[in-house]
Homo-oligomer: A and B are copies of this chain.
Amino acid sequence: MNDQLTQTIIKMAKAAKVASYQMSLVSTKDKNMALLKMAKALIANQKYLISENKKDLAAAQKENYSKALIDRLTLNEKTIKGMAQCLVETAGLKDPVGELLRTIKRPNGLLIKKVRTPIGVVGIIYESRPNVTSDCIGLCLKSSNAVILKGGREAFYSNNAIFTVLKNVLKKTKISAEAIQLVGVTDREAVNILLKQDEFVDVIVPRGGEDLIRFVVENSTIPVIKHAKGLCTIYVSDKADLKMAEKICFNAKVQKPGVCNAMETMLVNAKVAKRFLPLMIKEFHAAGVEVRGCERTRTILKGHVKQATDQDFDTEFLDLILAVKVIDSLKDAIDHINTHGSHHSDAIVTKDKKEAEAFLKSVDSASLYVNASTRFTDGYEFGFGAEVGISTDKLHARGPMGLEELTTYKYLVYGKGQIRT
């Protein structure tokens, strides 16, 4: 390993740890004031941010990045206003730290309080969107955590600029400026070194493509909360209101196809497939969706759709592409989703309450919908406010990961000299 880089990152992680202990003593008022000042500073420095962002955009164009990626990378007045707004909203959220979760009185007189506390040092590894830099700084500070950020190469200048603006604000507040850290190098070795700092870093949150997630999972000695893919499925039951199913499936596929809660696979019960599919697929085609169907789908549609491969049912397209399968039962739907889905968000459209409950009980996903679009899996839509992302893990945080999920707890035990006998 690169010795100098290792030393730099260890120093950073140690400083973050020390700052995290100070963070646990900062008042809600002081945290909120810092967030509001940060929001103002982003707006005040927008010319600087946009000019630094142009360097990233120039490089992206040179490397022929996709339009979608360039969109995500772009900073302008509107996106900067959005970042500032997120900090203001985070300031307005309830402070989770110190919340009393449970009180236990024991026969021996011990009083046990379970209270919510910060996690400590949160490492976030992410790709493209520079707004993640300020969103995550805001959420981590509000939950009294120190944070170490490692953004993607493609947003190098933008992330550094946002970070510099926010760090300068912090220097003028009661919060230690060491509470926020940015690994400002593009080297992937830096990620690998960071992933080994289990003495100082309490959790790693990777947000990005499958390669990044896999790299983190295979190399981290720090606990990881994955923000991986969303292969979301909707099952149209034979007991569905087909008009409703049509609207829901169209929305889940078309409204914003590049996001993790968009539908990638549509399962249709054979009993209604002949009625449901022709019109539905016509709508999809009109919206520019490429439909890839199973044999039975193709028979019903007389070959007017592409043949789906096995792999299509395991793919998060993040695009106007949809895999469609005709199946025979609720059980087949449950088995298909548990086997091929990514346990993110899945839905059933049915009028039968018993069937809905069986689906909810048996499908092993973070968010399950009855008669609604999967597109609602999101911190704001759930009423939690801003989020670090959508966890696809089962431990600690599942689904939208907001302020509460950035906390842990400890047990405070009050005694009067009790000893164990």
- Interface residues of chain A, those whose CB is within 8 Å of chain B, are 21, 24-25, 104, 106, 110, 112, 117, 119-120, 198, 202-203, 217-218, 221, 223-225, 241, 244, 247-248, 250-252, 255-256, 338, 360-362, 364-373, 375-377, 381-383, 393-396, 398-399, 408-421
A367-B413, A370-B412, A372-B416 known, 15 other contacts, Cβ within 8 Å? A24-B362, A104-B382, A110-B381, A119-B394, A120-B394, A217-B221, A223-B224, A241-B417, A248-B419, A371-B414, A372-B413, A372-B417, A372-B419, A396-B396, A399-B411
Do B21 and A370 have beta carbons less than 8 Å apart? Answer: no
Do B338 and A21 have beta carbons less than 8 Å apart? Answer: yes
Do B21 and A364 have beta carbons less than 8 Å apart? Answer: yes
Smallest CB separation, A253 vs chain B (Å): 11
Choose one: B250, B411, B417; the contact of A248 (CB below 8 Å): B417
CA of A173 to CA of B203, assembled, Å: 41
Do B372 and A110 have beta carbons less than 8 Å apart? Answer: yes
Do A255 and B420 have beta carbons less than 8 Å apart? Answer: yes
**A409 contacts which chain B residues (CB < 8 A)?**
398
Do B417 and A244 have beta carbons less than 8 Å apart? Answer: yes
- A218-B221, A419-B248 known; A364-B396 Cβ under 8 A: no
Do B393 and A398 have beta carbons less than 8 Å apart? Answer: no
Do B21 and A413 have beta carbons less than 8 Å apart? Answer: no
Ordered nearest first, which 10 A-B pairs have the shortest CB separation? A372-B415, A251-B419, A375-B420, A396-B396, A395-B396, A244-B417, A372-B418, A371-B415, A367-B411, A394-B408
**A244 contacts which chain B residues (CB < 8 A)?**
417
CB-CB nearest in chain B for A368: B412
Choose one: B198, B373, B381, B394; the contact of A203 (CB below 8 Å): B394
Do A417 and B371 have beta carbons less than 8 Å apart? Answer: yes
Do A410 and B371 have beta carbons less than 8 Å apart? Answer: no
Interface centre among A202, A251, A396, A417 (most CB of B within 10 A): A417
| Identical chains in the assembly | 2
Smallest CB separation, A420 vs chain B (Å): 4
Do B112 and A410 have beta carbons less than 8 Å apart? Answer: no
CB-CB nearest in chain B for A356: B414
CA of A208 to CA of B132, assembled, Å: 39
Do B21 and A419 have beta carbons less than 8 Å apart? Answer: no
CA of A375 to CA of B358, assembled, Å: 45
**A417 contacts which chain B residues (CB < 8 A)?**
241, 244, 247-248, 371-372
Interface centre among A120, A362, A411 (most CB of B within 10 A): A411
**A383 contacts which chain B residues (CB < 8 A)?**
104, 106, 112
Do A362 and B217 have beta carbons less than 8 Å apart? Answer: no
Smallest CB separation, A209 vs chain B (Å): 17
CA of A251 to CA of B420, assembled, Å: 7
**A411 contacts which chain B residues (CB < 8 A)?**
366-368, 377, 382, 399
Do A420 and B376 have beta carbons less than 8 Å apart? Answer: yes
CA of A408 to CA of B415, assembled, Å: 31
Smallest CB separation, A212 vs chain B (Å): 14
Do B420 and A366 have beta carbons less than 8 Å apart? Answer: no
The 7 listed contacts between A and B (C-beta, < 8 Å) are: A25-B361, A247-B419, A255-B419, A255-B420, A366-B411, A373-B415, A373-B419
CA of A366 to CA of B414, assembled, Å: 14
